[in-house]
Structure 1
Amino acid sequence: MLKITAIGNLTHDVELKMNEATGKPYAILRIASDRRYKDKDGNKLTDFISIKVRGPLAERCAAFAWKGCKLVATGDFETITFADDPQRQPGFLIKASDVEFLSPRKAEDAAQAVEDMSASEDAA
Structure 2
Amino acid sequence: MLNRVVLVGRLTRDPDLRYTPSGVAVANFNIAVNRPFSNQQGEREADFINCVIWRRPAENLANFMKKGSLIGVDGRIQTRSYDDPEGKRVYITEVVADSVQFLESKGSPSGGGGQPSSQGAQGYNQNQNQQPYSNQGNQNQGNSNQGNQDNPFQDSGEPIDISDDDLPF
Normalised by the length of structure 1, the TM-score is 0.76
The whole-number CA distance in structure 2 between the counterparts of 1:99 and 1:108 is 16
In 1, distance between residues paired with 2:102 and 2:81? 29
Residues 42-121 of structure 1: pairs in structure 2 closer than 5 A: 42-84=42-84, 85-86=88-89, 90-106=91-107, 110=116
Bigger Cα Rg? 2
Equivalent in the alignment of 1:118? none
Which is bigger in relative contact order (C-alpha 8 A, separation at least 6)?
Answer: 1
Q: Please identify which structure carries the higher helix content.
A: 1
SS in 2 for 1:71: strand
| CA deviation string 1:86-119 (max 9, x = no partner) | 2x6x3411111110011212587659x6xxxxxx
1:25 aligns with 2:32: no
Cα RMSD of the aligned pairs, angstroms, is 2.2
Counterpart secondary structure, 1:31? strand
Q: TM-score, normalised by structure 2?
A: 0.57
Give aligned-pair identity as a percent.
25
In structure 2, the partner of 1:39 is: 39
Q: Count the aligned residue pairs.
A: 109
Pairwise CA distance, 1:68: 0.3
The answer (yes or no) to whether the contact 2:30–2:51 under 8 Å persists in 1 is yes
5+ residue gaps, structure 1, are 114-124
